[in-house]
Each structure stands twice: as structure tokens, then as C-alpha cells.
Amino acid sequence: MDSSENTVHSSKNVQNLPIVGMEFQSEEKAYDFYNLYARSIGFSIRRGSPSVRTNKVVRRRVLCCSKQGQYQKHSRGTHEKKCLDTRTNCEAKIVITLFGNIYRLVEFKENHNHELAPPSQVHHLWSQQKVYNKHKVLMKNMYDSGIGSTDMFDLMSTEVGGPQNLNFTLLDCVNAIQRMRRSDILEKGDAQMLLEYFKSMKKKNSYFFYAIQINENNQICSCFWADTKSRSDYYFFKDVLSFDTTYQTNALEKPYAPFICVNNHGQSVFFGCVLLLDETTQTFVWLFHTFLEAMNGKYPITVFTDQAMSIGNTIREVFLDTRHHLCLWHIYQNAAKHLSTEFETFTSFAKDFKT
């Protein structure tokens, strides 16, 4: 590219124009200053490799346009790593050098050899996406009030005259909320967070149902929940119910067990979900009594489960008028495991077995 023919010049009337000789209290303040200037012009910046003193203090730093340099193709054996051509050897930059305890701007190159982002798109640039502390405080207040990330972003966008005037995108807002949730979990504990979530759902809709099993040490063992739609669907589709405990969803390998049926459109419908401490008869007795309580004491007509003895015994004890059958999927899984020789030796065995 011929830089003399393709150079785009920055505006001379822009505020915060870098001037050689300017001083900054820290490298970070210099970065923020240049990034603010970059936002007003329409480009993104990044840090270049520093010159560092023996005490690890940065002596010299280049803050350049993100399109500085060029991507190089790298080879790994027969595979070639391909990178997007997003760099144009742009030379726009500032250079700061440490004098005593102060960083001084010693070089400023203003011109760019690429198109700059318009004001409506500048907030999508990488270095411009930053959630400042004042926004984090506002997000935390709205998060504690139960406002979702999308509504939160819309409110803040309206406040400043549009999303282009914010320093972050909707995705940045979602990520910030997720970090808050993780922080709450670490601070309060996942059990406390789960309980608070159930209470908030119950407050929004009184027909939301949840129950928690507590042991002798007042610790949560198992929990069951069913929302309004699940409880309403059960009234119409309780003929056949499937209950499966083969899911292990987390590092603690606690069984996750959904109550599922099929509606008149052939679609799967959830009647409720449970996280179990274990798969003992005592746990299943608590669970099935809780399920009946959630469904106003109405028994399912037929229940399909795996062959766990504890489940079968509990169904006969709690679901008094319910027929219990084994799930075909589990039967076939066990057949493939224990009768593999027969399946391989006799060509008609699979067909006969299925019949």
C-alpha cells in the first residue's frame, strides 16, 4: 500500500489531541488519554512491547493503532495457521518515556492509512469496550433489583442517547452480570444462591413450586422445582411419565433427574426437575412424596424408569395406583452390553430381540 496515496488524516480540531511534552502520572493514565483520543477519531489502540528496567518498571512504552504491523502466516507441520488480514502497517502511535516518576510523551504520529470508524460504530472497537466503575455500580444496583442484562443495557443506552455513546456492548454487559453472579456464589455459596433464586421465582408467581431436603446438620441434600407451565401440563398429560436419573451434571456428580412426558403434539414436556444427593430409597421416598404435593396429590397412570431397585420399590410404596415399567432405551443398552456376542453371531437376533 502506498501510504502517500492512502493516508487518512485525523481531525486537527479534536479534543485531547496528544502533544509532545505532555506528562502523565502513570502508564495507565497515558493509555486512557490516548484511548479517549482514539475514540473521538475512530480507531482502536493496543500496547506495544515495553522497555523494562531491571526492577521491572516500564521505562518506555509504545501505544499504537491496533492496525499497526502485519499478521504473519505460521506453519505447524502440514497445517498452516491463517489469520485475518486486519492489520495495515498503520504508523499512528504515541511513545511515552519515564523521566523520574513521570511518563512524558516524546513522540506522536497522527496519520492513519486506513478508514476510521464512524461515531455510530466506534463503540464496537476493541479498546473502546470497557465497563467503568460507575457503570459497574449502576449495573449492580439494577442486578440486585432483578433487572435483566438486556433491559439494563437498554436503560443505560437511553440515558446517554444511544448505545454508540456507551463504552461497552450488550455482550460486555452480559459478561459483567455473569461475573457478579459468580462473585455472589463465591460470597454466599451456591446453596444460598439457589434458595434466593427459588424465593424470587415464588414471589413472581405464587404457583411456582420448590422443595428442599435438609439433613440433620441443616445442610441441603436435594431440591425439586416445577414452574407454572409444568404443573399445568401435568393435569393434561399425566398418563405416561418418564423418570431418569442417569444424568450427572456437575463436578460433584449429583444426579439430575427430570420428570418428562410427551404431549399430544409429540413434544417433550417437563413436569419438574430435581438435584439428588444420592439414589437411595430414602431419597426417592422424599422426592416422590414431594412430586405428589406439587401435583396436588394426583398420581401418574404409568411411570417408565431404569432398572434401579430403589426406584421400583419407592414407586410401589408412594405411587399406589401407578403402573411401573422399564424404559426400552435402558433395556437395549443393557442388552448391547451383556448380549454383544449374540448380536454379532446371529444375524436375526437383533430383530427377534426387538420383537
Tens digits of residue pLDDT in 225-234: 999 999 999 8
Say if CB 247 and CB 257 are below 8 A apart: yes
How many helices, marked H, and strands, marked E, lie in the chain? 12, 16
Element (H, E) at 279: none
Cα 258 off chain centre by:
22
> Domain residue spans in the chain?
3-119, 133-188, 204-341
| pLDDT score of 287 more than 80 | yes
* DSSP character string of 134-189: HHHHHHHHHHHTT--HHHHHHHHHHHTTSGGGSSS-HHHHHHHHHHHHHHHHHHH-
**Strand runs labelled E in the chain:** 23-24, 45-47, 51-52, 58-65, 74-76, 79-81, 93-99, 102-109, 209-214, 220-226, 240-243, 247-248, 255-262, 268-275, 302-305, 323-326
d(C-alpha 10, C-alpha 33), whole Å? 16
At 60 the pLDDT is 92
At 167 the pLDDT is 74
Residues for the chain: how many in total? 355
Say if CB 323 and CB 303 are below 8 A apart: yes
Region of poorest pLDDT, from 46-50, 91-95, 181-185, 253-257: 181-185
For residue 137, give the amino acid letter. Answer: V
Q: What is the pLDDT of residues 180-228, one digit of tens each?
A: 766 665 455 667 778 888 888 998 889 999 998 887 766 777 889 999 9
Would you place residue 355 in the very low, low, confident or very high pLDDT band (cuts 50, 70, 90)? confident
At 79 the pLDDT is 42
Q: What is the pLDDT of residues 58-108, one digit of tens each?
A: 899 999 998 888 766 554 444 444 445 578 889 999 999 999 889 999 999
At 278 the pLDDT is 75
Say if CB 305 and CB 315 are below 8 A apart: yes
Say if CB 208 and CB 224 are below 8 A apart: no
At 82 the pLDDT is 44
- Count other C-beta atoms under 10 Å from residue 331's C-beta: 13
At 15 the pLDDT is 64
Would you place residue 5 in the very low, low, confident or very high pLDDT band (cuts 50, 70, 90)? very low
pLDDT > 70 in the chain, percent: 84
C-alpha cell at 246: 442417569
Q: What is the pLDDT of residues 136-171, one digit of tens each?
A: 888 888 887 878 888 888 888 888 888 877 777 787
Say if CB 239 and CB 298 are below 8 A apart: no
At 30 the pLDDT is 92
Q: What is the pLDDT of residues 235-248, one digit of tens each?
A: 888 888 888 776 65
Q: What is the pLDDT of residues 300-343, one digit of tens each?
A: 888 888 766 677 778 888 888 888 888 777 778 778 778 888 88
Q: How is domain 204-341 classified at the architecture level of CATH?
A: 2-Layer Sandwich (3.30)
d(C-alpha 166, C-alpha 148), whole Å? 18
pTM: 0.45
Which residue, chain included where needed, has cell 433491559? 151
At 182 the pLDDT is 62
Of the candidates 220, 252, 241, 327, the residue with the CA atom closest to the CA atom of residue 288: 241
